[in-house]
Amino acid sequence: MDLAFLNLTFLFGALGAAVPLILHLVRRQRAGIHVFSMVRFLISSQRSIVRQQRFRRLLLLLLRMAACALLAVIFARPFLRDQDETVFAGTQPEAVAILVDTSYSMGYGNRIALAKRRAAEILNDLQTGDQAALLTFAVQARVIRELGSSHSELPVLVDSEVSATFQATDYVEALRAADDQLSGSDFDRRTVYLVSDFQQSGWNPRSGGWKLGPGVQLRMIDVGDAQDDNSAVTGVEIPTVAGMESSAAPDGAERALSADGRTLDVAVRIRNFGQAPFRDEVTLRVNGIETGKRRVDIPPHSSRVEIFRQTFGSATNTGEVMLGEDGLPVDNRFFFTVNAPTPVRVLCLEERSRPNRPSEAAYYLSQALSLRRDPPVVVDVRSPDALAAVDPSEYDVVISANLSVLPRAAKDRLTGYVRSGGSLIIALNPAVSSGIFNSSFGELLPGRIASLSPPDRPRDRYRVLTDVNYQHPVFQPFSGPRHGDFGTVRFYRTARFEPDSSASVPARFDDGAAAVAEKPLGNGRTFLVLSTFDLAWTDFPIREVFVPFLYESIDYLASRGTMHERGAGLYRLAGEAVRLPDGAQHVVLPSGEQVPVETSRTGRKLFTQTRQPGLYRVQSEGGQQTFAVNLDTRESDFARMDAEAFAAALINPVAESPESRETESLARFVRDAEVERRQGLWWILGFTLIALVLGETLLANRTHR
């Protein structure tokens, strides 16, 4: 225990003890000399009185000086403190979550090495008692070390666990994981350190209203550089295998790849994301043999499509496109497969107003999908109650055509189906109730319906689609001229929809409301059309874009959300789940490693270890199959995000939550009580001061002036 003071400044008031001494010295009376005739009888008496007065005055001086000094000490608020305690001194401890970007763009230059150094500097600044968590992220976050007060092993983990992956970036999902780590801390100071190159592709400003927890601070540490020259192969398409309409394929072209082989056009898309022109060669290899090479010259921030005429000699073919080297070589190779297409199976769930009469929504859907030939589509129409007798895993896509309510048993089956890798399309019922619809579909929805437009709104006050993301796989084929115009579709009723933070909105109405929303759920995906598939709310089913829109949606979802995936199964994206044949035994990775195939809870064989681009070979009882995995080339675009807008959108303006305020109030009460208890010494000093003043008064009255 030692003595400390809350207000050290007041100790300077102790100098006031010198005031009585100065006054004593200044006003000191000096003895005068007086002549008396007879002083013999006064000498002894005078000496005694002088000695008494001198002692009393000295004691009075000391009492006054002690009173002044003690008053200053009381105002300084003394207390007793343990020598090893820091409650009343030093900075408060801090809880930090360090998020390090490991998307493949971090492999450019020395970005990943710089990110490691920045993370190590953060760790070096931690104080004893601080808590720290270490996470890496790309599309999803990975917790390397949970939040804890031990820091010794973190530098080693940064050096060994932080490396560039083959995936894109999702900043919101990463910050969610970091916020979850910090929510377990009782510290008032909580900070997320985000170490990244901050690409715009990793954040959608319209993705939702999620924010960090109250009181959580965000520190953004930029490891990007000014040089951003990069080119990439962004896609491969084979139009006559793509199942597209005549606008994308020659008239009379066959749709299926026969076992006898066929000559097809291979369209290779190349994008120059940099500031300087790109000049190099692009090479096509089919089944391991070089079949074509071209010289390309692409201006800055431009794209180019190179067409290779290629004859495929069998029903199963593999391909690879190679581009010249640059600062990020990982996106200069692109893999694909061209196989004979298999039928796509679709389960359509409908709600009938009459038992023996199919719903209009299911009728329009089944008629449109039955026209598909490459690949063919098989549609089964069932009621949601009949879902108990059906195995959803046998279908590539499930469509909720017009369900106003989803029974609990059907919801559980569909949720398990989607989480295991299935895809679900949801459309609205004309008589939908937002509350019932939100409650019955639950997490299958990419958000919630907030309100519906009035049913009696005049038909001439319709809405149209004005904000369509033509980079989305469903809408990309419509981006060219004369490829279909969604602006001609009329929507007489609409729903005001609030998307989740994990949802995306690829199409909006002219009032800004969402028209289409989607979100990943487990290994699958849900796709919500905020209108009906009949003519009650819209004329969409009788417009020319309706049928190709359905085809693109089915292709997109049947391939588990792959960009540019078509009926022939050209490729998947890194990190996506791939459904394997029932007889699949193991998969050979591009690195040569052999991985056994596991069966999911639903009995489906789903392969999820698609972390690197390349060709994956599936060994099964019936032989060998191959599928291709590529990068999400949106990550190849180094365009920077607006850091201020990003921080403003994600930092919570609320300084602390009600729970934190309650906890802080209780902690403050306990802290104040402890401070007051340790300052009990000033009461003793106060009574001592009173005693000194009383003593000084009594002594002053007995002292001759």
Low-confidence winner among 293-297, 480-484, 606-610 (lowest mean pLDDT): 480-484
How confident is the model at residue 59, as a pLDDT? 77
Full 3-state SS string of 561-610? CCCCCCCCCCCEECCCCEECCCCEEEEECCCCCEEECCECCCCCEEECCC
Task: Single out the residue in 339, 354, 375 at which a domain terminates.
Answer: 339
Question: CB count, 10 Å around CB of 352?
Answer: 13
436, 552: one domain: yes
How confident is the model at residue 676, as a pLDDT? 60
499 belongs to a structural domain: yes
442, 502: one domain: yes
Burial class for 284, CB neighbours closer than 10 Å (0-12, 13-18, 19+): buried
Burial class for 142, CB neighbours closer than 10 Å (0-12, 13-18, 19+): middle
Rounded to an integer, what distance in angstroms lies between the CA atom of residue 348 and that of residue 381?
5
Tokens coding 600? 């999911």
11, 75: one domain: yes
334, 348: one domain: no
* SS3 state at 12: helix
Q: Which residues pair with 278 in a beta bridge?
A: 298
285, 170: one domain: no
pLDDT in tens, 220-237: 999 987 767 899 999 998
Rounded to an integer, what distance in angstroms lies between the CA atom of residue 182 and that of residue 190?
7
| Stretch (H or E) spanning 629 | strand 623-630
Task: Single out the residue in 497, 523, 556 at which a domain terminates.
Answer: 556
Closest CA to 516 of 554, 580, 467: 467
238 belongs to a structural domain: no
309 belongs to a structural domain: yes
Q: Which residue has the higher pLDDT, 663 or 180?
A: 180
Indicate the residue type of 595.
Answer: V
611 belongs to a structural domain: yes
How many Å from the N-terminal Cα to the C-terminal Cα in the chain?
46
404, 472: one domain: yes
pLDDT at 689 over 60: yes
Rounded to an integer, what distance in angstroms lies between the CA atom of residue 373 and that of residue 243?
8
**298 vs 272, 282, 307, CA distance in Å?**
6, 12, 15
How confident is the model at residue 95, as a pLDDT? 94
21, 158: one domain: no
395, 449: one domain: yes
pLDDT at 494 over 80: yes
Task: Single out the residue in 302, 324, 339 at which a domain terminates.
Answer: 339
108 belongs to a structural domain: yes
Closest CA to 17 of 78, 73, 101: 73
Burial class for 51, CB neighbours closer than 10 Å (0-12, 13-18, 19+): exposed
Highest mean pLDDT among 257-261, 497-501, 597-601: 497-501
- In this prediction, residue 598 has a pLDDT band, given cuts at 50, 70 and 90, of confident
Mean pLDDT of 249-268: 54
pLDDT in tens, 643-682: 999 999 999 887 655 555 565 666 666 666 666 666 666 6
533, 435: one domain: yes
Question: CB count, 10 Å around CB of 117?
Answer: 13
Q: Which residue has the higher pLDDT, 85 or 411?
A: 411
pLDDT in tens, 515-550: 999 999 988 899 999 999 999 999 999 998 999 999
64, 138: one domain: no
The pTM for the full model equals 0.58
Length of the chain: 705
21 belongs to a structural domain: yes
Chain Cα centroid distance, residue 398: 28
pLDDT in tens, 23-66: 767 666 666 666 655 555 555 555 666 677 777 777 777 777 77
541 belongs to a structural domain: yes
**436 vs 297, 385, 449, 513, 602, CA distance in Å?**
57, 17, 10, 21, 28
How confident is the model at residue 430, as a pLDDT? 93
pLDDT in tens, 80-89: 665 444 444 4
Domain count, the chain: 5
669, 650: one domain: no
Q: Are 602 and 623 in contact (CB under 8 A)?
A: no
40 belongs to a structural domain: no
Strand ranges across the sheet with 423-426: 377-382, 344-349, 397-400, 423-426, 524-529, 514-521, 504-509, 465-468
Mean pLDDT of 597-608: 77
Counting residues of the chain whose pLDDT is more than 90, the rounded percentage is 44
Q: Which residue has the higher pLDDT, 369 or 667?
A: 369
| Stretch (H or E) spanning 317 | strand 316-323
Rounded to an integer, what distance in angstroms lies between the CA atom of residue 464 and that of residue 487?
6
How confident is the model at residue 339, as a pLDDT? 73
The domain of 611 spans 572-630
Rounded to an integer, what distance in angstroms lies between the CA atom of residue 349 and that of residue 411?
12
Tokens coding 114? 């710089």
Rounded to an integer, what distance in angstroms lies between the CA atom of residue 332 and that of residue 322?
6
